[in-house]
Amino acid sequence: MADFMDLRISKFKRGKRITVRVNGQRLAAYEGETVHALLTANGLYGLRKTRKTGQIRGALCGMGVCYECRVTIDGKPGQQACMTRVKENMEIFTHDDPV
């Protein structure tokens, strides 16, 4: 697993532990959590770059309204991290989806 600090609340009961890849690094995830929760728990806040300025953007609303949390999941760009639940062996790339 990658050397990220896990920022999850330790007393919270979680689903089964699974493994996903984020930007080529293996990370632990838990069934039932969103991609956004996984990324935030591992300190990954910059999710995409804007087309015009290349500015890094992160999640804003966390409920699927703003589309700021778009990432590439399993080769499909433009997926909302806050609305997508993690799956075993999921491949996630950040900064790949300019708008």
Looking only at the bridges linking them, the beta strands covering 70-73 and 76-80 are: antiparallel
pLDDT in tens, 37-77: 999 988 888 888 888 998 888 888 888 888 889 999 999 99
How big is the chain by its Cα radius of gyration, in Å?
13
The contacts of residue 61 (CB under 8 Å, 6+ apart) are 68, 82
Q: Which domain holds residue 32?
A: 17-93
Whether 94 contacts 23, CB under 8 Å: yes
If you average pLDDT over residues 1-7, what whole number do you get? 57
Asked if residue 9 belongs to a domain, the reply is no
pLDDT category at 5 given cuts 50, 70, 90 is low
Asked if residue 62 belongs to a domain, the reply is yes
Read off the CATH number of the domain in which 26 is found.
3.10.20.440
The number of distinct structural domains making up the chain is 1
Q: What is residue 50's predicted lDDT score, i.e. its pLDDT?
A: 86
Give the whole-angstrom CA distance, residue 35 versus residue 73: 9
Asked if residue 67 belongs to a domain, the reply is yes
